[in-house]
Amino acid sequence: MENETQNKSAASENLAKVLNLGGKALVTAYDATVSTFSKIFSTVKREVPVISEKTKGIFTKGFTFLKSSETSELETKIKEYEKQIKDLYFEIGREGSKVSQGESPVELEAVKKLVIDVRNYEKEIERLQKRIIEVKEEKEAEDLRKKEEKKAQKLAKLAEKSKRNKNKDEEIRKLIESNINKALKIGEFESLSEQEIFGKVARDLLDTEIEIQCLAAAELGKMKNAAAVPVLMEAVKFEHPELIAEIINSLIAIGDPSAVPLFEAQIKSPKYTVRVGCLRGIYKLGDNETAMSILTEALRDDHPEVRRNALTFIGWKDYTSAVSSVIQCLKDEEPRVRKAAISTLANLKDESSVLPLISTLGDKDIETREKAFDALKSITREEIKIDVHASDKDLEKSIINLKDWWQKERIENVSTPEFTQAVPEVTKIVEPEVTQPEPEIAPVEPEKAIEPEITQQVIDEPVQVEPEVTKIVEPEVAQPEPEIAPVEPEKAIEPEVNQVTIEPTQVEAEKAMESESNGEPV
């Protein structure tokens, strides 16, 4: 063991002598090849023990890329040469240890041959390294060529698309021009100057600058002339989001329901401002069935502003059938959407939303809690006492108690209405008939209408009655029976008619007086 250690030590010493005697060139070559590549590849081997065929030969000094098969082969060859150089240096050290004291190991033929072999390997490594650089440069040049080729293809496609769009835009402009001329002919204008202004503003839609087109669309909306509707709807075909949003606002301002199909078509626009405008247009101009479906669907939109507007419009439309969908929005990640959902539920006033709103009292946003508290008071019409600014623990306890209270309240309200509704039905029958004697006077008026019928009966069957009997009529009319008249008004009239039949005696008396004056017996 000691002999082996001594031999290695001697070999190392002689190797150092050889290196010193061999000159600076040999040392530099050794440092540039063995040391550098040994460090690089030992690092790779240590950090990545198993390297797949696709990632074999990846450098770790500043860049990482997948090499071609040729590069991998060259690097593998370099590794083999480096190993050979290491072995040769060890052999040089061993040969140098054989020389006697005072002899130079460099002068040995075996050492000279070994040094020549080392230099040959180093030259080969240098050649391979140059080839690797060439391969990299070729690859970079190829990548650059492909990149330029892709760029050229992309530019060609853009140019082709631009050409197609230009042709398409020209066709759209012709259609817009045609609609403008038609609008000027059949449109209703209060004056010739208004007609001229309309034509000038509408023709700004034919401009190539998007800013001018947007201003023209907005100005047509301010005019609120229905003649602009077909012109604006044709301008949508330019497919510019900002222009479409402005056109939608103008169509809403004009208020023509014929624009609703456009709103339905643009509700899936990638620009959220266009979607919001479409919702507003459908809310104002669409029928209830269409609006209900689209607004409910918009509650699942990706943009919070679209969801918020949809909730607001549902509340304004009083769509109680959408309560369940609105309740789901109480869990929305955006506070503004949650607050809009609370406002909508407060407008709808559906009791099924009370428990979810009670849960919302524990929301992390203070304003949302306060809004939920106000909504609960509005829906339940009860004085709810809870501190929404309390600590989490106290607030959680209050919410549980409030839920228990509401559930008990609902159970009590289920049976109470059946009793409270039965009592008014009885009182309505008794009280109004006793406290209102006005119907008693009604039988007095029909007496005048009955008189002609009675006189005819008396003429057919005359009865002699003393004139004093007529005094009986006045007290009977002045003393109506209050209890009989309200219960059976028709029967109460009959006895009065029988008594009133005495009144025809006045007619009979007059007839008797005429007979006496004529000398006829009565």
Q: Is the pLDDT reported for residue 22 higher than 80?
A: no
- In terms of pLDDT, which residue wins out, 107 or 238? 238
pLDDT at 33: 39
Closest by CA to 268, choosing from 243, 241, 287, is 241
- 163-167, 297-301, 467-471, 499-503: range with highest mean pLDDT: 297-301
**Residue 509 pLDDT > 70:** no
Lowest mean pLDDT among 410-419, 491-500, 504-513: 491-500
> Where residue 228 falls among pLDDT bands split at 50, 70, 90?
very high
Q: Residue 286 and residue 119: Cα distance in Å, rounded?
A: 90
Residue ranges per structural domain of the chain: 2-158, 187-286, 307-435, 443-517
The better pLDDT of the pair 70, 242 is held by 242
**Distance from C-alpha of 102 to C-alpha of 95, rounded to nearest angstrom:** 15
pLDDT digits (tens, 9 = 90+) for 168-214: 889 999 999 999 999 999 999 999 999 999 999 999 999 999 999 99
Residues 480 and 443 sit within 8 Å (Cβ to Cβ): yes
Measure the CA angle with vertex 249, ends 173 and 205; round to 5°.
Answer: 20
pLDDT, one tens digit per residue, over 338-393 is 999 999 999 999 999 999 999 999 999 999 999 999 999 999 998 888 898 988 89
Q: Is a pLDDT exceeding 80 seen at residue 494?
A: no
pLDDT at 198: 95
Residue 294, pLDDT above cutoff 80: yes
Q: What is the DSSP string of 268-311?
A: T-SSHHHHHHHHHHHHHHS-HHHHHHHHHHHTT-SSHHHHHHHH
Judge whether residue 314 has pLDDT over 80: yes
Q: What is the mean pLDDT of residues 55-79?
A: 61
Q: What is the mean pLDDT of the chain?
A: 75
Of 473 and 177, the structure prediction assigns the larger pLDDT to 177
Residue by residue, DSSP assigns 21-63 as HH-HHHHHHHIIIIIHHHHHHHHHHHH-SS--SSSTT---SS-
- At residue 164, the pLDDT reads 77
- Tell me, yes or no, if the two domains 187-286 and 307-435 fold the same way: yes
**CB-based contacts of 224, cutoff 8 Å, min separation 6:** 253, 254, 255
User: The domain 187-286: what is its CATH number?
Assistant: 1.25.10.10
- In words, the CATH class of domain 307-435 is mainly alpha
Strand, helix or coil for residue 389: coil
Q: Is 504 helix (H, G, I), strand (E, B) or coil?
A: coil
- Mean pLDDT is highest, among 131-145, 315-329, 423-437, for 315-329
Q: What's the CA gap between 125 and 79, in Å, rounded?
A: 9
Predicted confidence (pLDDT) at residue 59 exceeds the cutoff of 50: no
Task: Give the pLDDT band (50/70/90) at residue 432.
Answer: very low
Percent of the chain surpassing pLDDT 90: 46
pLDDT number for residue 168: 87
Residue 113 has pLDDT above 80, yes or no: yes
Point out the least confidently predicted range of 74-83, 218-227, 347-356, 481-490.
481-490
User: For residues 185 and 410, which has the higher predicted lDDT (pLDDT)?
Assistant: 185
